Amino acid sequence: MASTRDLAIASISAAAGAVAAAAAVLYSYTATNAKPQKPAPPPPFTEPLPVNGCAARHPPAQDPFKTTKREGFISWDDYFMAIAFLSAERSKDPNRQVGACLVSQEGIILGIGYNGFPRGCSDDKLPWAKKSARGDPLETKYPYVVHAEVNAILNTNHASAAGQKLYVTMFPCNECAKIIIQSGVSEVIYFVEKRIDNSDHVYVASHNLLSMAGVKVRKHQPQMAQIPINFQEPRV
């Protein structure tokens, strides 16, 4: 005959089994009849971080009743230097692309240019190399290329470059300095002065010439780190 202790253990085991069975039935019912969980909604769309006062893709919607001018527009100096940089993108030179923009004292663009070969001289038939394996200078670009500053002055749509300003992405060499002085340009604004190889004397001579001729020279101080250009239809 089973003792009281054995009966108690049997009762507890039976109760535990009943609870487990009930839990299994409940889980089966829940898994079968539960509504499918909706996926988490995507994070709310946000405009890209502003770049130079405007969004990279689309500027934020503006209040149509706002009567004040917008903020984040570029300065005149950044504008003209950006034109010089954009002009440099037309250069076929695989090593260095330089651009220039000639501007009147009234802020009107008079001419633009980039480094390349003269008109009528094929970009595919003349060499673009910086050095010749045989030491032949005629196998390099230097005897043939026209610098950006010279092209900007020669391409001017104005009667004269006298008294005008020249924006250039790289400080002009001594040969360009001569043309700048002779054309009457009154100010040179450059982005970077890059002395390469053993050509330091070229830029020292350029500084000397421009200083003696009274041409004002200053380094561009950008107010914006970049000016993106997006070929997308504007939001209206």
Structure confidence at residue 67 as a pLDDT band (50, 70, 90): confident
| Residue-wise pLDDT tens digits, 68-106 | 888 888 999 999 999 999 999 999 999 999 999 999 999
Q: What is the pLDDT of residue 164?
A: 95
Q: How many CB atoms lie within 10 A of CB 155?
A: 14
Task: Give the DSSP per-residue string, the chain.
Answer: ---HHHHHHHHHHHHHHHHHHHHHHHHHHHHHHSPPPPPPPPPPP-PPPEETTEESSSPPPPPTT--SPPS-PPPHHHHHHHHHHHHHTT---SS---EEEEE-TTS-EEEEEESBPPTTS-TTTS---SS-TT--GGGSSTTTPBPHHHHHHHT-SSS--TT-EEEEEE---HHHHHHHHHHT--EEEEEE----TT-HHHHHHHHHHHHHTT-EEEE---SSS------SPPP-
Hey, what amino acid is at 163? G
Q: How many CB atoms lie within 10 A of CB 93?
A: 17
Is pLDDT of 216 > 70?
A: yes
pTM: 0.72
Report d(CA 117, CA 121) in Å as an integer.
6
Looking only at the bridges linking them, the beta strands covering 109-114 and 165-170 are unpaired
Active site residue 149: yes
Q: Which of 71, 149, 193, 233 is catalytic?
A: 149
Is pLDDT of 50 > 80?
A: no
Q: What is the pLDDT of residue 229?
A: 86
| Residue-wise pLDDT tens digits, 153-188 | 999 987 789 999 999 999 999 999 999 999 999 999
Q: Where are the domains of the chain?
A: 82-217
- What mean pLDDT is predicted for residues 23-52? 46
Which has more confidence, 105 or 236?
105
Q: Quickly name the fold that domain 82-217 has.
A: Cytidine Deaminase; domain 2 (3.40.140)
Looking only at the bridges linking them, the beta strands covering 216-219 and 187-192 are parallel
Q: How far is CA 163 from CA 112, 116, 147, 166, in A?
A: 16, 26, 21, 10
